[in-house]
Structure 1
């Protein structure tokens, strides 16, 4: 495995994924603000939260890139299409497991059961992130597929 490649390409793929998600938000395709959601775990200030959330997402992206690299090693090859399939799976898990799980652990995210006394500042994501817009699932899957394609195309197995 090209471990130097893993560290560099994992970082680049994560920056690309984050840029796609932010571009979709700025373009009105989704209201999912991943840096804000991740950053408000550690600070209530939205500006600081976005910066912290971006760094958190980079770190998490490196961990996922290591998982992709491990899959490529187990399969004995790294290709763009295997990366794309892993990205689709990754996006599906993000929408169906990780995002909904945040409601239970995020200190500033409301839940569907939150009543009028809730002081949460972030709305819950809803089923597959639909509370952040109807196109959020498609944007999320597409960004994760791009992430996987980048890793599959750039990583070398030796």
Structure 2
């Protein structure tokens, strides 16, 4: 396994995921803005939050890339399709576990039970992130599979 390359390739894969997600957001396919969601955990200012959130997302992407590299090493192979399967598993966990738990730890996100008196800046993601648009689960799946495929291709032994 290319342990020296995982950080660089993790960065490349995370940038690909982020670029695809931003493109989908600009195309009106989803309202999910991961840099904003992550950044508002640290600061109220939306402009600063997007910058801080971008770097938080890059750091998280590096961590996940290390996990993918570890799985590839345990399997003694890295391929685009194994990366894609890991991406599908990754997004399944993100949509069914991480997003539903987010309102419980995010200081500026409303919960599903928050009423009109809530002062939260962000609405909760809802089931599978559907509060951010009906196509959000599909967009999330595609971008995470792209992430896995990129890692599978770049970490594959030559």
**Aligned partners of 2:18, 2:96: CA distance in 1, in Å?**
19
CA drift of 1:118 comes to 1.2
CA drift of 1:99 comes to 1.1
**Aligned partners of 1:130, 1:58: CA distance in 2, in Å?**
24
* C-alpha distance after superposition, 1:43-93 (max 9, x if no partner): 000000000000000000000000000000111100000000000110111
**Aligned partners of 2:54, 2:46: CA distance in 1, in Å?**
12
1:17-56 → structure 2 map (5 Å cutoff): 17-56=17-56
RMSD of aligned residue pairs (Cα, Å): 1.1
**Counterpart contact for 1:73–1:157, Cα < 8 Å:** no
**Aligned partners of 1:51, 1:32: CA distance in 2, in Å?**
16
Q: Is 1:7 the equivalent of 2:7?
A: yes
CA drift of 1:157 comes to 4.8
In structure 1, the residue corresponding to 2:77 is in which secondary structure?
A: coil
In structure 2, the residue corresponding to 1:29 is in which secondary structure?
A: coil
TM-score by length of 1: 0.97
**Counterpart contact for 1:72–1:157, Cα < 8 Å:** no
**Aligned partners of 2:138, 2:146: CA distance in 1, in Å?**
12
**Aligned partners of 1:74, 1:101: CA distance in 2, in Å?**
30
1:90-129 → structure 2 map (5 Å cutoff): 90-129=90-129
In structure 2, the residue corresponding to 1:121 is in which secondary structure?
A: coil
In structure 2, the residue corresponding to 1:41 is in which secondary structure?
A: coil
TM-score by length of 2: 0.97
In structure 2, the residue corresponding to 1:108 is in which secondary structure?
A: coil
1:129-144 → structure 2 map (5 Å cutoff): 129-144=129-144
Number of residue pairs aligned between Structure 1 and Structure 2: 158
